[in-house]
Amino acid sequence: MIPKVTKAEYAKNFTIHICFSDGTEGDVDLSQELYGEVFEPLKDRNTFKAFRIHPEFHTICWPNGADIAPEFLYEKVQIPA
């Protein structure tokens, strides 16, 4: 089953707090993932903060067309202690 992002909020730096449909939630630090043509613009923090949840794909995406697979986000979630 592909996890679905139900809520996402900017946390700090290049970290987003993400909630999934199965109740899993936590922070995902994307600072090391912002490489490649479509992700380079996201190194600007204001651009990075402009993410939203895509209504069809249930993952985070940006106005420039960048998105990150929900499976990857689910693997990277750091559950708060």
Domains located in the chain, CATH noted: 5-76 (3.30.2020.10)
Measure Cα distances from 18 to 28, 36, 37, 47, 64 in Å: 7, 23, 24, 18, 20
Residues 6+ apart with CB under 8 A from 72: none
pTM recorded for the entire structure = 0.92
Does residue 81 surpass a pLDDT of 60?
no
pLDDT the model gives residue 54: 96
- Percent of the chain at pLDDT > 70 equals 96
